[in-house]
Amino acid sequence: MDIPILKDITVIIAVATISLLICSRLKVPGILGYLITGLLVGPNGLRLVSETENVNTMADIGVVLLLFTIGLEFSLRQLVALKRSAIGGGILQVTLTTAIFAAACAIFGFHTGQAVFYGLILTLSSTAIVLKLLMERGEVEAPFGRITTSVLIFQDIAVIPIMLIIPMLVPGGSASLADIGISLGKALAVVIILFAAARFMVPRLLLQVTKTRSRELFLFSIVLICMIVAFITNKAGLSLALGAFLAGMVVSETGYGYQALGNVVPFKDVFTGFFFVSVGMLINVEIIISNPIIVILAALFIIIVKTSVAGMVINLLGYPLNTSLRTGLSLAQVGEFSFILAATGKTIGIIDGEEQSTFIAISVITMAATPFLIQYSSKISEAAGKLPLPASVIKGYFHTASNNIKPVKDHMIIVGYGLAGKNLAKAAENAGISYNIIEMNPQTVRNESAKGTPIFYGDASQEEVLEHARVKDARAVVVSGADNATTKNIVETVHRINPSIAVVARTRFVLNAAPLKELGATDVIVEEVESSVALLSCVLKHYYIPAEDIDKQEAEIRQIEPSAVKRRSRDRAASLGIKGVAVETVTVPVGSPVSGKTLRDLDVRYRYNVNVIAMRTGGNLKVSPGSGERLNDRDELLVTGRQADINIFAGIFVQSTKQKA
């Protein structure tokens, strides 16, 4: 028996597999692979697929599952936590971008309904592409990454009213503002009912389901909830796609969202792939070939407008040019929701098939440019920072100095006040070490400044910010919470201002460590390495492996990249092989009374029972220094002896500094 759809599915999967492999090698988003697949196998390409209606049916299922999974990943708590950039920035970005694109379309002769329609669908960016790229680059937690994520979340929510408004834009339609108000009221009522159910009914149902420990029952329950919610929204006159999104939000709020996501994702990936393949089938190459300049100029116009508007909005919220421009570049493409809305617009008659194909062709170009825009966003923002712009634009409107910053010396500068930064500050306070904090979150700066914390707002890659933190008088700088590109800029700037300062940088991957060392980082803490060391240590303890053997295993792991990762051991005597003997580095603090004295004056060997085996002074390394060697500020002494004696010897530098202060 001949089954045409089976042949079509086989062809699509085969071509998609090859396309995805090529995209993976070229490091471009997989969505482009699906679009290329649709172009190749569709009616505008090689015409390898005959049953396009069946493909469109699977694409509709893909849309439902895509919106359902986006709803599962949505978090009201995350939106509230980022309310300033998500709500404030999101509203301004969506409103201004829609207005600009609608005005541009009106100028080019589109009627009012079409102009507003294009403005609405062009304002949305690609959550799937951007978040995937940010996660791969380890920049989700970077300042611009957090802001970009929050704006994307708001855009996902904005799809709800956009879906309701689009039917009102049909040429010659009789819809009025009252009709729009009624539709929005219905949507609001449905949302309230669904979230009431999510709070009181669905959690109890899923609790009983999970008690059975049946994966199949859990999956069917999730699908049932999705179908019921979609049915309710459909009966209320709303779209099936909107119902799927709301269903995902309902499950997300129950606390079972991640489990549901794990069960649905495999199906979502397959059917979403068919959706983008179906979109690719609509790409008309003849349109691009016949109007290449118009298509490319339109794509560039979209990228420039979206980058400028989003960047300006984030800058107006008080963030510096570096953060705002990188956010704008990340949001410069057209999103996957726009394809769904464009298909809706064609179905109800706002645009025709040729206009939809032109829109898709332009959108694909903006998507293809996204990886490169994000990759080079740091260099672009750095170049923009050299333009003669007002200080409030370059530094941000919250760059004013905190009154809590004091003229200290030999202190620690902490860049980033996340969990790691807070722990560092607490440890420094307990040890009697002065510190200044540089933070990019205005709200955190306000809250901590009110508590008297020595913190101020600023971009630590800028010289003025580091000078305000008194980097020339500091002993160490710790970069604890920045993305790799920003960390490199900070390390390079710090090393240029003060070559003798100790710079400790945190990075995610081993590959990033060597470049940081070359730029001047004294030590690089690699999360990839340290997490594996922690896992190893915890596991081996359960097998009662001696601590010394665990130390050796840790040392071997840290030797993966000896030029980049500083190897540490809880017991430094292991490096000498003599139990009870330790090796430490002691730095002469700035302004210490010890400065100017010789090793003979200190009587190091007989008074403190330690030996100085090497010292670094003025950039020069001296092995086995003589007793006449004179100590200077920031000199480093490599001493050996018993740990207790070394601690006493190191204490005289701190005591001397405190007494002088």
As a whole-number percent, the residues of the chain with pLDDT over 70 amount to 85
Provide the mean pLDDT of the chain: 80
Tell me which residue has tokens 């709200």. Answer: 443
* Low-confidence winner among 156-165, 178-187, 340-349 (lowest mean pLDDT): 178-187
Residue 654 has pLDDT above 70, yes or no: no
Measured distance CA(454)–CA(438) in Å, rounded: 9
pLDDT in the model for residue 657? 45
Tokens of 25: 């090698």
Measured distance CA(487)–CA(632) in Å, rounded: 30
The model carries a pTM of 0.67
> pLDDT band at 658, cuts 50/70/90?
very low
Which of residues 464 and 236 earns the better pLDDT score? 464
pLDDT in the model for residue 362? 92
Length of the chain: 661
For 175-223, the pLDDT digits (tens) are 556 666 776 677 677 777 776 766 678 888 888 888 888 888 888 888 8
Q: How many CA atoms lie within 13 A of 647 on its CB side?
A: 4
Residue 205, SS3? helix
* Low-confidence winner among 84-93, 389-398, 536-545 (lowest mean pLDDT): 389-398
Report CA dihedral (224, 228, 231, 236) to the nearest 10 degrees. -160
**Distances, alpha carbon 168 to alpha carbons 48, 109, 177, 492, in Å:** 38, 20, 9, 55
Measured distance CA(238)–CA(187) in Å, rounded: 7
Measured distance CA(206)–CA(260) in Å, rounded: 10
The helix or strand, by DSSP H or E, that contains position 84, with its residue range, turns out to be: none
Query: Which of 381, 384, 382, 435 minimizes the C-alpha distance to 406?
Result: 435
**Beta bridge partners of residue 522, listed in sequence order:** none
Q: What is the mean pLDDT of residues 560-569?
A: 42
Measured distance CA(58)–CA(41) in Å, rounded: 16
- Domains belonging to the chain, first-starting first, are 57-384 (1.20.1530.20), 398-507 (3.40.50.720), 572-660 (3.30.70.1450)
Question: Please, which residues have CB within 8 angstroms of residue 282's CB and are 6 or more apart in sequence?
Answer: 38, 42, 44, 353, 356, 357, 360
Question: Please, which residues have CB within 8 angstroms of residue 1's CB and are 6 or more apart in sequence?
Answer: none
Handedness of CA 451, 452, 454, 456 (dihedral sign): positive
Residue 607 has pLDDT above 50, yes or no: yes
> pLDDT band at 561, cuts 50/70/90?
very low
pLDDT in the model for residue 465? 85
347-377 burial: b if 16+ Cβ within 10 Å, else e: eeebbeeebbbbbbbbbbbbbbbbbebbeeb
DSSP string for residues in 571-599: SGGGGTT-TT-EEEEEEPPTT-TTTT-BH
> Tell me, what DSSP letter sits at residue 630?
B
Measured distance CA(451)–CA(410) in Å, rounded: 23
Measured distance CA(322)–CA(319) in Å, rounded: 8
Residue 5 has pLDDT above 80, yes or no: no
> pLDDT band at 568, cuts 50/70/90?
very low
pLDDT in the model for residue 660? 46
Question: Please, which residues have CB within 8 angstroms of residue 384's CB and are 6 or more apart in sequence?
Answer: 321, 325
Contact yes or no for 488/427 (Cβ under 8 A): no
Residue 575 has pLDDT above 50, yes or no: no
Measured distance CA(118)–CA(125) in Å, rounded: 13
> pLDDT band at 89, cuts 50/70/90?
confident
Question: Please, which residues have CB within 8 angstroms of residue 214's CB and are 6 or more apart in sequence?
Answer: none
Cβ count near 103 (within 10 Å): 11
Handedness of CA 321, 327, 330, 335 (dihedral sign): negative
14-48 burial: b if 16+ Cβ within 10 Å, else e: ebbeebbeebeeeebbbbbbbbbbbbbbbebbeeb
> pLDDT band at 330, cuts 50/70/90?
very high
Query: Which of 246, 249, 190, 247 minimizes the C-alpha distance to 221?
Result: 247
Which amino acid does the sequence have at 573? A
Query: Which of 660, 322, 606 minimizes the C-alpha distance to 489?
Result: 322
Residue 570 has pLDDT above 50, yes or no: no
Which amino acid does the sequence have at 420? A
Residue 412, SS3? strand
Q: What is the mean pLDDT of residues 577-585?
A: 70
For 367-380, the pLDDT digits (tens) are 888 888 998 898 89
Contact yes or no for 509/489 (Cβ under 8 A): no
Which of residues 139 and 439 earns the better pLDDT score? 439
Could you tell me what percentage of the chain is helix, strand and coil, using 3-state DSSP and rounding each to the nearest 5?
65, 10, 25
DSSP string for residues in 133-173: HHHHHT-TTSHHHHHHHHHHHHHHHHHHHHHHHGGGGSTT-
Residue 622, SS3? strand
Sheet (strand 523-526) strand order: 455-457, 435-439, 412-415, 476-479, 502-507, 523-526
